[in-house]
Each structure stands twice: as structure tokens, then as C-alpha cells.
């Protein structure tokens, strides 16, 4: 199979006068885990729901596995698995019944029992949906998205509300899916989640992509380095794109005053620092 899994160019979506997505472009390669990161209201869910075929775009072009999702072709939906932020299931169905029923919708489904084990719901096969805990419901969501053995999986904030142990377990499942060669588009507002799972991330803010790249090399044009030190018991931190000059000024000043800069560090800003800097501008 050739071509990228997802191609987006010039994508726009407005609700009345409000433009939620203001012309974004990105590409997700096959077998890649791509993270859409951003604060609430940045346009993540709108973007994903356009890719999933739930919403119509106002402008631009979108290709998902070579299809236009707006046309809602069955042949596309057979190859895509969707985990929404919140979606329910028949409360009186058992876990097994739910998976067996949804497996019927796909041409080459995964074995429901194996799918239940994959998401860690073994032992809950005969439990009714209404009896499941919040975390177990999210695992059922994932199982229902996987039972069709999709090539491409959309995960919209898959671990929101999880305790740390459940998050780690979900991350392991997502890594296992990546090992199986699945393409995954993940939205999250947790930085550590994007950092530990995604091959590449795009940071969305106010409907625009403000940075894109691998989490380790995701560096916006300015503020490449952070310089920090402790002076008179207080930690100072500067972000600069010219650390040489800054260090020279700092050390010269300190020497002239006969002071020591304790614990002097020069580093690349973490994804978190970049993220906060990029997304917090409006608040200042």
C-alpha cells in the first residue's frame, strides 16, 4: 500500500463566525504514532472529527487512507478504528456480546476473545457494560475500536481521567499496537503522553499548528536554549536563542561582582517548556 495514512492541507472549519480550525496542514505516515497536542479549545477534536468523518470541513483538503472521509464510504470505515472522548455502549450488553456484535461489522475482524485480552479486560467477558468501572469502560472503547483490526486508529484523549497505573497500562497497549504496524493519531493535552508515545507531534493553538516535529527535536524558531543557575539561593532561568552571548554576560557580571553562579545549566528546553511558551502567549 502506498501513500501516507493521513494527508491534511489547508484545513479550515468554522462554526458561524467562529473559526475553530484556521488552515492547518500535516501528514501522518503509515505505521507512525502522531500526536495532536494542545490546550482545550485549540481545535484538536474538531480536526480529528473531520478526519473520522463526523464533521464536514469548511475548506481545504483531507485524505484518510486515500479516501475523503466526508464521503463516509464503508470501505474506509472498515479500515479505521475510532476511540471517542465519550461514547456509550448498550448498558445491558456483556463485554463479550458487545465485541461479538461489533466484530460482525468488519470483513476481517480480530477474534473478540483475543481483543478482550489485548486491552486487559480478561475476566470481565460476562460483565455487563453498566457494571464496568470508568477505566474498564475506556478499555472497552479501545477493544471496540480494535475488533475490526483497523489499519488506522484515532484515539481522542485516550487516558483523560485515568489514574497513573491505568495510564501506564494504556500506553503499553498503544505501544503494542504500534508494534503491530498500526498507524495511530492521538490527541492529548498531556505532554508526557505525547512525549512517550508519539513519533511526531503537532502543537495546535487557536486552530493553527504552532510547532511540529519529533518530540525530541521539537523546537520552535526562537528560544532554543534554556540557561539556569542559582544565585543567592534563588534559581533563575533564561530562554535564549543565543546562549553564548547570554553566558558571557552572566559569567562576566558574576565575576565582576565576585559572585558564583551555582548549578549553572545550559539545556534544550523540554517539550513542556516549549509547549507552555507556545500556548500561554495569549494569557500574558
Partner 1 sequence: MSGLALAWAQFRFERRMFWRNPSAAFFNFTLPLLFLVLIASVFGADRKELDVLVPGIAGMAVMATTFTALAFNLTFLREQGILKRVHGTPMPTASYFGGFIGSAVANAVVQVALVLLIGHFAYDLPWPPDWPALVVFTLLGVVCFGALGVAFSHAIPNFDAAAAYTNAVFLPAVFISGVFYSTDKLPAVLTGIAQALPLKHVIDGLSGGIVTGHGIGDHLSALGVILAWTAVGLVLAVRKFRWA
Determine, following the binding rule CB under 8 A, whether residue 71 of this chain makes contact with partner 1. no
Q: From the list 7, 12, 54, 175, which residue makes contact with partner 1 (rule: CB under 8 A)?
A: 54
Q: From the list 78, 151, 199, 273, which residue makes contact with partner 1 (rule: CB under 8 A)?
A: 78
Q: From the list 25, 93, 117, 230, which residue makes contact with partner 1 (rule: CB under 8 A)?
A: 93
Give alpha helix (H) positions in the chain: 44-52, 74-77, 95-103, 112-118, 134-146, 164-179, 191-197, 243-257, 271-280
Is residue 199 within 8 Å of 32, Cβ to Cβ? Answer: yes
From CA 225, how far away is CA 218, in angstroms rounded? 12
Is residue 139 within 8 Å of 167, Cβ to Cβ? Answer: no
**Please, which residue, 72 or 235, has the CB nearer to partner 1?**
72
Q: How far is the CB of 106 from partner 1 (least distance, A)?
A: 6
Residue of 191, 187, 179, 219 whose CA lies nearest to 34: 187
Count interface residues toward partner 1 (CB under 8 A): 25
Q: From the list 101, 189, 224, 238, which residue makes contact with partner 1 (rule: CB under 8 A)?
A: 101
Determine, following the binding rule CB under 8 A, whether residue 67 of this chain makes contact with partner 1. no
Question: Would you give the binding string for partner 1 spanning residues 134-163, x where CB under 8 A is met?
Answer: ----------x---x---------------
> b/e string for 65-74 if b means 16 or more Cβ within 10 A?
bebebeeeee
Return residues touching partner 1 (CB under 8 A): 52-54, 74, 77-78, 80, 82, 84, 86-93, 97, 101-102, 104-106, 144, 148
Amino acid at each position: 500500500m502506498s501513500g501516507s495514512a493521513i494527508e491534511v492541507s489547508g484545513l479550515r472549519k468554522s462554526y458561524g463566525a467562529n473559526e475553530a480550525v484556521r488552515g492547518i496542514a500535516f501528514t501522518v505516515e503509515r505505521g507512525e504514532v502522531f500526536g495532536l497536542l494542545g490546550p482545550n479549545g485549540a481545535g484538536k477534536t474538531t480536526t480529528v472529527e473531520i478526519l473520522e468523518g463526523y464533521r464536514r470541513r469548511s475548506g481545504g483538503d483531507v485524505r484518510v487512507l486515500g479516501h475523503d472521509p466526508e464521503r463516509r464510504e464503508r470501505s474506509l470505515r472498515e479500515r479505521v478504528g475510532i476511540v471517542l472522548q465519550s461514547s456509550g455502549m448498550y448498558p445491558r450488553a456483556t463485554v463479550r456480546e458487545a465485541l461479538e456484535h461489533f466484530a460482525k461489522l468488519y470483513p476481517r475482524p480480530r477474534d473478540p476473545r483475543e481483543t478482550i485480552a489485548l486491552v486487559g479486560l480478561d475476566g470481565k467477558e460476562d460483565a455487563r457494560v453498566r457494571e464496568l468501572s470508568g477505566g474498564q469502560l475506556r478499555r472497552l472503547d479501545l477493544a471496540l475500536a480494535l475488533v475490526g483490526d483497523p489499519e488506522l486508529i484515532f484515539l481522542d484523549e485516550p487516558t483523560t481521567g485515568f489514574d497513573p497505573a491505568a495510564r501506564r497500562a494504556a500506553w503499553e497497549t498503544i505501544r503494542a499496537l504500534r508494534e503491530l504496524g498500526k498507524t495511530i493519531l492521538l490527541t492529548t493535552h498531556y505532554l508526557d503522553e505525547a512525549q512517550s508515545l508519539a513519533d511526531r507531534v503537532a502543537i495546535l493553538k487557536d486552530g493553527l499548528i504552532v510547532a511540529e516535529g519529533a518530540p525530541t527535536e521539537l523546537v520552535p524558531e526562537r528560544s532554543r536554549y534554556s540557561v539556569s543557575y542559582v544565585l543567592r539561593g534563588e534559581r533563575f532561568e533564561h530562554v535564549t536563542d543565543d546562549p553564548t552571548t547570554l553566558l558571557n554576560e552572566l559569567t562576566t557580571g558574576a565575576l565582576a561582582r565576585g559572585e558564583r553562579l551555582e548549578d549553572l545549566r545550559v539545556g534544550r528546553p523540554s517539550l513542556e517548556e516549549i509547549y507552555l511558551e507556545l500556548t500561554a502567549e495569549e494569557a500574558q
